[in-house]
């Protein structure tokens, strides 16, 4: 099991996300909750411990890239729409893929999203 897969598994467990969980639960956006868990693990040492803290901190580059390119609408509109339509389960998998792709900064995240754009356009063609 890769580090990204472990991240997705633990994040899903942390928030009680299942394969059919909707993005909004009880008025709370689970995409935002996932990103907040990553920020808490990074900014507040000891917020999570052990393997959970290590995996959540490894996703910080993905979280920063998401905030800059997707939440900031810098990426292609098709990519933004695709990611915003993901279920929390699939969103955890996307962040896990970014960890496995070793995204550690915004520039690498931009490359990841441009590759995702190419894949989405290839699937549509």
In this predicted model, what pLDDT tens digit does every residue of 26-57 receive, in sequence order?
999 999 999 999 999 999 999 999 999 999 99
Domain range for 27 is: 3-124
**Considering only CA atoms, which of 93, 79, 91 is closest in space to residue 23?**
91
Nearest-angstrom CA–CA distance, 77 and 116 = 12
Per the structure, the count of domains in the chain is 1
Counting every residue written for the chain, the total comes to: 125
Model pTM?
A: 0.94
pLDDT digits (tens, 9 = 90+) for 80-113: 999 999 999 999 999 999 999 999 999 999 999 9
């Amino acid at each position: 099991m890769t580090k990204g897969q472990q991240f997705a598994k633990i994040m899903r467990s942390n928030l009680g996300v299942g394969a059919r969980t909707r993005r909004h639960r009880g008025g709370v956006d689970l995409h935002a909750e996932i990103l907040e868990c990553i920020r808490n693990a990074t900014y507040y040492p000891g917020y999570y411990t052990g393997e959970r803290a290590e995996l959540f901190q490894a996703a910080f580059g993905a979280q920063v890239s998401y905030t800059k390119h997707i939440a900031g609408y810098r990426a292609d509109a098709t990519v933004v729409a695709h990611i915003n339509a993901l279920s929390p389960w699939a969103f955890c998998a996307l962040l896990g893929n970014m960890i496995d792709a070793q995204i550690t900064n915004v520039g690498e995240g931009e490359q990841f999203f441009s590759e995702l754009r190419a894949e989405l356009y290839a699937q549509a063609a």
